[in-house]
Structures are given as structure tokens and as C-alpha cells.
């Protein structure tokens, strides 16, 4: 998942970024360490991998002062390259980040020790928008469907939706890589393709232009984390109290996304540069539909990611190894989460 204007994520193998990129990030990050001994707070930078509404719990937790409330001076920044962000987490210089599950899976299958602590939204914010003459997925038979590129999330979604409708993605439709979201929408308008896979907010523009959604991924029983709180497992094991403070603040931000609509929209506008009130409203409604009130990371979401990979290690991996639900489970048992909604 990369770029400010593109919510698509790529399901690909993770590799180390250039050393210069890692060093530049580490030089910028403050790391986790004593910030104000008198007040007992710690300083922490939690970078996020992509600009999308799924990051709202992190943004809102920072903007609302929840991290300070639980003893952490937290800041955040956008780091577009997943390998760079993952390398920083693996080094321990910034033990937490907001990233998609594909980064965690790829890193751990290559010897890393990263885990998901808080789930974030459970579903993908994508639609298949089609020409006005197409009313259902079955009508895509024999049609051209635009995606960003082969191997991307848009490619996976197109094939998944076709299969769910009983169509063969290889023979019943033509899936074509037509570039970024804007290029896909332009191709749809020009009649070069009859449908395309779009993410928010581009899918809203397509709808307004008369290209309705024939499939919305929120309506499917498909779970996948594109914006979760991840952490270095070995660091968490040695710093459980500090980790719990971070999780409390993050979970409070998640709850505030449900209970503080104005605050959530303000954070979305601030970090994503979405200013149109109608787009903000539609984005917010998508968020609350996909964001669980008890954001426990679930193995079923990881299973989806593992199933999309071709390497034998992924096929043999247990999804539970990539998550640690103990922190959120403890907050639920103790009544902390229920209190956030009172």
C-alpha cells in the first residue's frame, strides 16, 4: 500500500530497502525512550505506511491527547515505503507502526519478529465500479476490468469477486492493468474498459459520474488488515507495561472514531487533505462500518493474506504466529473498552 493518492497495497515479497533509506528514517525517528522523567512520559514516533481512512484511530489518538493521557508523548509521520518502515521496526528504533498485514507476513516469513497488536478496520475499502449498463457482477462476463497492476490488491479483488459470482477470472473476463486510480477511472469514462476496481475516495467520484458500484468489499465475508498497529515482538515481550500504554491509547482512538464523528472527520481531513464535506462524510461512514469496537486481531484476516501468497512457507504458516491479541483481550476483560463507549 503506497502513495498518498493510492490506497492499493501490493501482495509481494518483502526485501530490505537501501541502507541509506533506513538510516534516513532512523535519523528522523525519535525512538521510544524517556522524554519527561518528571511526568513519567515516554517519547515515541509511530509512523504510518499509507494515507487512508484506516489510519484514523492512530491520528485521532494523537490529536485527542490519548497517548499523553497514558504516559506517551507520541508523534507520527508518513513513510511511503513498506520495507523502510518494517526495517525501522525490526531494528527496534521505532518499535511500533501502523501498517498492513502484508508487511507483517512478508517480514516474518523472512526471519522477522513483528506482530499485530490492534486490528484496525477489518475489511477493504474498495468497490468495483462499472458502466451504467452493468447492474451486477454476473454482467461482467465477457467484459474488460481495469486494475492498477497484476499482483496488486485491485487484481486480487477483481478475481475474488468474479469467483464469488461463479465466473472464471481467466476465461470469463479480461483483467487489464491500466495504472493508478485516476487512470482507471479515465479508461472507464472513455469506454476502454467496462469496469474497474477503485478505492475511496476515487470510487465516490466514479459513483457521482454515473458509474455505480456492482460490488462493495464491505459486503463480502473477506477480512484483511490494511491499517493495524504492529510492533516488534521481542521488544513487546521486554516492555509489556509500555506496550499496554500504547495499546490503550490506540484503542481509545479507535473508540473515538465511533463516538466522536466530528473529531474523526477533522483528523481525516488533516492527514489526508480531504476537504470536501461530502467526501469526508462518505469516508467516515465507510470507516465505522469496517472498524470493530473491540479491535482484537483475528487469525481469519491473516489466513486471507497467507492464502494469496505462492511461497510454501506461507501455505504452511499458522496465522496465529502473526498476531498477539492478549493486550486487547485484557482491556476487554477489565472493562476498559466498554468504558470508552459510555
pLDDT one-digit tens code per residue, 77-133: 998 777 788 888 998 878 999 999 988 999 999 999 999 999 999 999 999 999 999
Domain boundaries, the chain: 19-123+224-340, 126-219
Domain 19-123+224-340 has CATH 3.20.20.370: no
- Cell digits for 21? 533509506
| The pLDDT value given to residue 293 | 97
Instruction: Point out the least confidently predicted range of 23-37, 61-75, 111-125, 265-279.
Output: 23-37
Could you name the CATH architecture of 126-219? 3-Layer(aba) Sandwich (3.40)
- Rounded alpha-carbon distances, angstroms, from residue 207 to 23, 69, 201, 276, 279: 43, 41, 10, 15, 12
- Cell digits for 265? 472527520
* Environment class of 261 (CB within 10 Å of its CB; exposed 0-12, middle 13-18, buried 19+): middle
Beta-strand pair 72-75/126-130: unpaired
Domains 19-123+224-340 and 126-219 share a fold: yes
Of the pLDDT bands very low, low, confident and very high (cuts 50, 70, 90), residue 310 is: confident
Whether the per-residue pLDDT at 6 is higher than 70: the answer is: no
Whether the per-residue pLDDT at 34 is higher than 80: the answer is: no
Of the pLDDT bands very low, low, confident and very high (cuts 50, 70, 90), residue 235 is: very high
| The pLDDT value given to residue 20 | 45
What is the per-residue pLDDT across 205-229, written as a single tens digit (0 to 9) for each? Answer: 999 999 999 999 999 999 999 899 9
By the 8 A CB rule, do 213 and 128 touch? Answer: yes
Amino acid at each position: 500500500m503506497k502513495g498518498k493518492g493510492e490506497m492499493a497495497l501490493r501482495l509481494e515479497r518483502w526485501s530490505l530497502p537501501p541502507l541509506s533509506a533506513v538510516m534516513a528514517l532512523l535519523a528522523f525517528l525519535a525512538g521510544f525512550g524517556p522524554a519527561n522523567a518528571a511526568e513519567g512520559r515516554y517519547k515515541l514516533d509511530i509512523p504510518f505506511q499509507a494515507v487512508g481512512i484506516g489510519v484514523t484511530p492512530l491520528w485521532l489518538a494523537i490529536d485527542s491527547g490519548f497517548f499523553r493521557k497514558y504516559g506517551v508523548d507520541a508523534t507520527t509521520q508518513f513513510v511511503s515505503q513498506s520495507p523502510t518502515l518494517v526495517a525501522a521496526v525490526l531494528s527496534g528504533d521505532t518499535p511500533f507502526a501502523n501498517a498492513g498485514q502484508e508487511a507483517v507476513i512478508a517480514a516474518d516469513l523472512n526471519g522477522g519478529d513483528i506482530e499485530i497488536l490492534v486490528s484496525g478496520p477489518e475489511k477493504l475499502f474498495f468497490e468495483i465500479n462499472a458502466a451504467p449498463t452493468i447492474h451486477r457482477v454476473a454482467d461482467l462476463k465477457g467484459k474488460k476490468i481495469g486494475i492498477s497492476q497484476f499482483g496488486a490488491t485491485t487484481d486480487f479483488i477483481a478475481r475474488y469477486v468474479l469467483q464469488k459470482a461463479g465466473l472464471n477470472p481467466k476465461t470469463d473476463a479480461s483483467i487489464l492493468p491500466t495504472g493508478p486510480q485516476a487512470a482507471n477511472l479515465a479508461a472507464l469514462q472513455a469506454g476502454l474498459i467496462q469496469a474497474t476496481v477503485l478505492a475511496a475516495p476515487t470510487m465516490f467520484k466514479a459513483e457521482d459520474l454515473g458509474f455505480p458500484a456492482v460490488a462493495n468489499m464491505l459486503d463480502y465475508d473477506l477480512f484483511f488488515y490494511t491499517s493495524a498497529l504492529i510492533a516488534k515482538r521481542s521488544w513487546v515481550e521486554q516492555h509489556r507495561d509500555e506496550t499496554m500504554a500504547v495499546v490503550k491509547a490506540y484503542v481509545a482512538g479507535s473508540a473515538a472514531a465511533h463516538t466522536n464523528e466530528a473529531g474523526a472527520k477533522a483528523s481525516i481531513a488533516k492527514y489526508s487533505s480531504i476537504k470536501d464535506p461530502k467526501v469526508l462524510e462518505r469516508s467516515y461512514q465507510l470507516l465505522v462500518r469496517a472498524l470493530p469496537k473491540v479491535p482484537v486481531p483475528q487469525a481469519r484476516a491473516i489466513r486471507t493474506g497467507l492464502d494469496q501468497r505462492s511461497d510454501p512457507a506461507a501455505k504452511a504458516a499458522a496465522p496465529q504466529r502473526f498476531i498477539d491479541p492478549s493486550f486487547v483481550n485484557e482491556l476487554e476483560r477489565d472493562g476498559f473498552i466498554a468504558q470508552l463507549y459510555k
